[in-house]
Each structure stands twice: as structure tokens, then as C-alpha cells.
Structure 1
Amino acid sequence: MATVKIKLDTRRAKSNDTYNIIYKIRHLKKVHTINAGISVLKKHWNSTNSRVINSCPNAKSINLKLLNDYLALEKAILALDDEVTIEKLRLLIKGKTETQTSSFKTFTQQLIDEMLTTKNTGNALVYRTAMNRFLDFCKKDITFTEIDYVLLQKFENHLKLKGLKQNSISNYFRTIRAIYNKAIKHKLVDRSHYPFYDITIKSEQTAKRAISREDIKRLQSIELDEDSTASKSLKYFMLSFYLRGISFTDMAYLKASNINNGRILYNRRKTHKNYSIRLFKPAEAIIKSLQYENSSYLLPIINETLQEDSLEAKKVIKQWIKTTNKYLKRLSLELQSDSTITTYTARHSFATIAKRLGYSNELIAEALGHEYGNKTTAIYLDAFDTNKIDELHIAVIS
């Protein structure tokens, strides 16, 4: 059985020297805290009676709220018994009803907020897009128990009628399924309601994304106005290729501090894996041609005023990717290439060219930061020597 205590959280004072009042909940041998939404001076807190003293401003209303919240928490703990979760109790304090605590929108937004707090902006945007698309179809917020096989089938048909491709539909369904699985783990819905047992999430093989070495050389030889967006888009593509297929997002965040002894050292945002990439002359030349003098960033994609990994920064990068892909598509038409060139093409092309040059899948995977073969076995294997990866690198881009 969970227990509740009202405490003044004196670990950290706010800017006005007040401290937050919290509800301390011990449940399943773990201690959780819920912010009461009230902060007071330490001198106004009576720790013996767990209430503010009479001389505290608004003492009567504060103590009444604390008492009501305490009673509501105790009542919820008794009613829910083994199904009580800290998430349900937090929502209760925020004034949410039981229906709201199990609502798709409320819970998904909670997940999104947590992702934004941990700077997992990419996934936050994926979840938000899926949530908005699904709720737009439902035309209202719904509880998890209302999500069933019939509703999901109707949603799939709706997306098909809208002209969405199968892989886009699959992405929405995988995201909604992930949200539902998290809701089960948070005890917001019983597993017996799980609607995905009979839902097949199909994906289609995407068109070939790599281009040949000859196409890369032809791209290098295209003459463009140096100050044009087309020229800048081509430079971003070539820089990604020269840096072993670095993603556009990671490229956007590169700073002068990431360069050390002729290598670019960075942590990939998608996998949180550290990379060490040799900075060869072609890449160095592109960076010098694009970098602003007074910016700490190597490329003119985001500026100093934007907080890294914020939604605003993500939107700016996403717009740049969209613009870059638009001009790359035009260049692929000009080349009469079999593939439509996008920012992803650089990474796929690097790997494909390396393979055609006879390098092993293991070494290519190491160069791209992928795991190859059995994941458990890979833990015990030494990483390839940096020189071997550098040899592959220079062979591909030469």
C-alpha cells in the first residue's frame, strides 16, 4: 500500500527564496514526489503539522488545498489498490478525471513533454505528428479502451484515401502501438484491451537511395552560382558524403570545438554513439566556404539564439533539409540519375561505394557506426583500428 506525506522540499530554493511544497509518496519500495504547485518561505512552514503557519500569506487557502489534495491521494490509493501508479496520482493533483488519465491525448502529451525535457526532440515530433493525425481522424480525444481493431482499420483506410504511402502509414501505426504499450506499462489500460494482436504493420522496400561513384563525380563538376541555394544544397550533400554520411542534423550542430587534431569528434544525436572522422581536404574546403566568421557553428544552418535540440531548432533544421532536398532533386533530374538524390543519399552512397571497392560489411558498419551481425558477439569484438577506417574513408571519397 502506498503512503503519502506532505513535505517542504528544501533541497533547492527558487529565485524568490521560497521552496516547493511536495507530496512524498512511497510505493513499491520507491519514493516519488509530486509538486503541489505551491511554494512558500521556509519560515512559514510547520514541518510537524505539514502545513503553513497562520502568518503565511493565503495560509487558509493553501492549507485547504493541501488537505484536499492529501485526502484525494489517499482516496485514490485505496480505490486503485494494486493498480495505483505515480502517473495517475500526478494527473489527479492536476485536476484530471479518471477518464482524462487514461486518455490518449493526455498520456501522449505527457510522453512528448518528457522527451522534450530530455532533448529527445526527434521522437517528440514523431509522437506529436502521430497523435495529431490520429486525433484529427477520431475528431475527439479518446481513452485507450476505445482504441480497438475496428477503429485502427478505419484509420488505416482513412490514411490510404488521403494518399499516404505504406511506409508513412506504418510509421504512424508503429508510433501509436508504442504509445499503447507504454500506457499498459503505466497501468493506464489493461493488456486484455490490446488492439494490435491482429494488426499487421507492413512496410515496403524503399527505392534505391545510393548513387554511383560516377554520379558523385558528375555532381562535383556541376557549375552553380556560388551564392545560390542550389550551390549551398550541393555543398551540404557533398560534405555529408565526405564525412562518412554524417546526418544533416549532426552536421548542423558541428562547432569549431568538434575539430581536434584534424578529426571531427561528435556524438550522434540519433544513437548517442561517439564518432571520430578524419577531416580530409575536400570537407575542410566546403566548411571554410560556408562558415560565418562570428559563429561558433561550422555551418550557417542554425544560429546562436536557438537552444540546441529545442523544437524551434528542430523546425529550422527540418526546413533546411526540405529546401536542400528540393534542390538536390533538381540536380538529380539534371544528371538524369536513376535515383532521386536526397540528404540520405550521401550515407547510402558512401556505404555502397565502399562495398563495391571490396571492403567487408563489418568494416563498413564500423565506419558508419552500425552494429553488424550478432549484437551480443559484437560486444566482445575489438573495434577496427582507426587507420583501417581512414583507409576506407579516403578510398571512397577519392
Structure 2
Amino acid sequence: MELTFKIVLDKRHKKTNETYPLKLRVFQNRAYKERSLNIAISENDWDSNLQMVLSTNDSYTALNSKLTSTKAKVQKLIFLSEDAETLTTPDEIIKRLKNKGQKQGGNIKPSIIQYGKDHIEKLKVSGRIGSAITYSCGINKLKDYAKTDKLTFESVDYRFIENFNTALLKEGIKINSIGNYFRSIRALFNKAIKEGVVEAKYYPFTSFKIKTEKTISRALTSTEISQIFALDLPVRSTIWHHRNLFALSYCLIGINFSDLLTLTKENFIDGRITFRRSKTHKIYSIKIQPKSKDIFDYYFTEFPESSKEFLLPFVKNFNNPITLKKDISQAIKNTNDYLRKLATECKIRKNISTYYARYSWANIARELGYPKDMIAEALGHEYGNKITGIYLDNYSNEIIDKMNDRVISSVF
């Protein structure tokens, strides 16, 4: 008559997203009574022997915490029934567990805050620090507004996000920044629904549309960028070094500064810089033109030790992706500060930043008469639609190289 229990993956009820529900089963002899735990995971994410969710599931920490809590409650109910020396059945255990849950506010529902934190940790482990920071900003804003870290997915309904949006606007936060927060929250909902953590009926973004606003053009004219590159600066001065970074980014078709600062010897292949962009994971191959070669040669000669890790001596690899991300952010901030000083010297009334290298390259290429689809191909964008994007692959490196050579020559 002894009571036992276990948590099982119920393969009798497969969901449309290829997941199965986890259920609590309380046994007595050969009979049992079961109760759904409102958790659904894939078969590959479940260890039936340990009765634990494996780390292959993004939310394994939160889900295992819920399972541990459930096991402790069932064990306590069984002990209490044994101490009372009363005849207790699996049905009574399930009922008591349900009643206890109702007194405490019902079944424990997953927190979007904790779910987000688990996802952020997994991003950090996989080295996607930029994405982790983006999600952290969204989750932190959501937690500040809700004033709790136990905010359930179900609580984040249409009215909630409308009020949240209004509160952010009152804080003076820009529409595009708010859009980034909501895109992170929306992505967590999509992920949670796919994993069976929350039901699709609670998805709040069907009616709520994330807004964006057009940003001010971040491009310099060929005359303006020529002025910046022509300024007579003390060689080896700090401002001179940061202008070199800006010039390299421009010469390498607006390479993102994070990718530029972390180039290694392995990225130099047959006179080209070949790398995978950290943001999109797209592979680029850019010919090293004479101007960029001169700058690289200077740093190889003056800072030979730095090339053991990164080619440029502005950040160091501490084998810690979080520290590296902070160093990259600081280097970009420093460059932006000096770019604004250069703009002031040239009487350019624009709030110049590192992004201007990429936008200016595209703008000047357009001024030179190159078509939008060709410029998009050089920048790694998909022009038009996916079908059009496939045909753009027909542009050879030689054509893009010649275009880049003209864009560079127009300002140097």
C-alpha cells in the first residue's frame, strides 16, 4: 500500500511543436493517478532516470527548479499521511497538491523574467555577448516596470504591453530603443511557445505592433569624409590612431567595429580580409586595398606583439567574452569621441560615430552611380526579396573589388 511517485514524459500526447507534456504520477500498487505539470519539452531534453530537464533546453534551470519544488511538495504530503497513519490514495495526494497550489495562488507558472535570464546565460555561454546584452536590456526594463521577477507570461497581455509602452515613452526613451526592448520580449514569447512553456493563446503581439521611426541619415558626403582624412594630425597621437580605425572601416566596406577590432592573422587570406560578421554570421571577403594595407602594415611593424592575438592593438583577448565585449564598447566610445572632435575641426555639423563609415561608403558608392542591388551585395544585405538575393550572388568579388577601389579613391 506504499505510495510512490515519479515524473514522466507522456509520449501518448505529442504536441504540434514536437514536444511532450511532463506529468506527475503517484502510484499505489499498480494503480496511479497523474497530474499535468504544464511543462512540455522534446524527448531529447529529458533524462528519464534522473527525472530532470537536460541543459539542451534553454529553460532547464527554471524548469528543474519547478520540478524539484513539485517533488518536495509530494514527498511532504506522503510523509504527513504516513505520520497520521491514515489510509491515503494517489487521488487524495493529487487533490491535496492541487488545493495547496490554489491556496498559494494556483499552479506555479513560468516567469518570463527567469525564462529570459536563463536564455541570456545560454547566449553568454555560446559567446553571443551582444545578443545577451540586448536581451538583458529588455528584461531589466520589464522587471523595473513590473516591480517583480515573478511576472508570468500570461500576465504580459495586450493591455500590459500597451501600458508598458506608455510608461517607457513617458521616461523619454526613444521609439527605436523601445522597439528593441519589445523585440526581445516578443522573441522570448515565440521561443517559450515553441518549447511548450506557454500556450500560443497568450501571445500578446498579434494586435500590438512594434513601432520604429526613421533615423537621421548617418552618412558623410565625399567632400566631408575627404576633409576628415586630409586633416594634418600628429602621427601616433591618440586621435590619429582612432582616425585610422575609422579609415580602415571605410576601406573595408564599412566593416563593423567589433569585427574590425577582433581580426586575427587567420582572417588574412590571399590578400583579402575574410571573416564572419558577428551580428549576422554572414561570411565576407574583402580585398585589402593599398590604403588599408598601409594602415595594417604600420600596426604590424609598430605593435608586433599585438598581432599574436588581434591584429590591431586596441583590445586584448582575455579569454573572457564579457570582458572583451566591454573593451570593444570602450574602444568604440573612444573612437566616437575623437570623431566628433575631427568633425568640429572640419566644421562638419553632424554627430559622427563609427556607423558613419558604413553609411558613408554606401552613400558615396551611390553618388558614383552604382546600383542599389550592387551596393546591397557589397554590404552583405539581401536586396528586395529572398529570390532577388539569390541572384545577387552572381556579382563576383572582382566587380565588388573594383567598386570599393573607386569608393576609396574618391576620398583619398
TM-score, shorter chain, exceeding 0.5: yes
Task: Note closer, same or farther for the CA distance 1:237–1:100 as it changes in structure 2 (3 Å cut).
Answer: farther
Alignment match, 1:181: 190
Counterparts of 1:262-281 in structure 2 under 5 Å?
262-281=271-290
- Is 1:139 aligned to 2:147, yes or no? yes
Q: In the TM superposition, what whole-angstrom CA distance separates every residue of 1:214-254 from its partner, at most 9, and x where no partner exists?
A: 11110111123334332222111111001111000110111
Deviations 1:249-275 (A, max 9, x none): 110111122112211111111121211
For 2:222 and 2:211, locate their aligned partners in 1 and report how far apart those are by CA, in whole Å: 33
1:162 CA displacement: 2.1
Does residue 129 of structure 1 match 2:137? Answer: yes
- 1:42-96 deviation per Cα after TM superposition (whole angstroms, max 9, x unaligned): xxxxxxxxxxxxxxxxxxxxxxxxxxxxx98656x94228853257954443335
- 2:205 aligned residue (165, 178, 196): 196
Q: Deviations over 1:297-341 (max 9, x none)?
A: 11112213234xx22211211121122112212222332324321
Of 121, 133, 138, the match for 1:113: 121
Question: Is the CA contact (8 Å cut-off) linking 2:378 and 2:400 kept in structure 1?
Answer: yes
Decide which structure has the larger Cα Rg and report it.
Answer: 2
Counterpart position of 2:363: 352
What's the CA shift for 1:287?
2.1
Output the TM-score relative to the length of structure 1: 0.76
- Offset at 1:99? 6.3
Q: Percent identity of the aligned residues?
A: 37
Unpaired segments of 5 or more residues in structure 2?
1-5, 27-32, 46-51, 54-59, 71-105
Asked whether the 8 Å contact 2:377–2:393 carries over to 1, the reply is no
- Matched residues in 2 for 1:83 and 1:266: separation? 41
Counterpart of 2:81 in structure 1 is: none
Instruction: Describe the shift of the 1:79–1:370 C-alpha distance in structure 2 as closer, same or farther (beyond 3 A).
Output: same
| Matching of residues 3-42 of structure 1 within 5 Å | 27=11, 28=14
Tell me, in whole angstroms, the C-alpha distance in 1 between the residues paired with 2:121 and 2:385.
Answer: 35
Distance 2:168 2:186 in 1: 16
Counterpart residue number, 2:175: 166
How far the C-alpha of 1:347 sits from its partner, in A, is 0.5
1:289 is aligned to 2:260:
no
Instruction: Report whether the alignment pairs 1:374 with 2:382.
Output: no
Relative distance call for 1:93 and 1:81 in structure 2 (3 A) is closer
**Which piece of structure 1 moves more, 98-107 or 112-121?**
98-107
Aligned length: 336
In the superposition, relative to structure 1, how do residues 79 and 283 fare at CA in structure 2: closer, same or farther (>3 Å)? Answer: same
How far off is 1:349 after superposition?
Answer: 0.7
Mapped partners of 2:372, 2:339: distance in 1: 28
How far has the Cα of 1:125 moved from its partner?
1.0
CA displacement at 1:379 relative to structure 2:
2.5
Q: For the residues of structure 2 that align with 1:96 and 1:215, how far apart are their CA atoms?
A: 64
8 A Cα contact 1:101 1:107, kept in partner = no
Cα displacement (A) at 1:26? 8.3
Who is 2:335 aligned against?
324
2:373/2:392 contact within 8 Å kept? no
Q: Structure 1 residue 217 and structure 2 residue 226: aligned?
A: yes
Q: Aligned match of 2:112 in 104, 115, 127?
A: 104
TM-score (norm 2): 0.74
CA RMSD of superposed structures (Å): 3.0
Q: Is the 8 A contact 2:40 2:195 kept in 1?
A: no
Letter in 2 for 1:193: Y
Q: 1:315 aligns with which of 293, 314, 326?
A: 326
Q: 1:187 to 1:256 in 2, by over 3 A?
A: same
Q: What's the offset of the Cα at 1:206?
A: 0.3
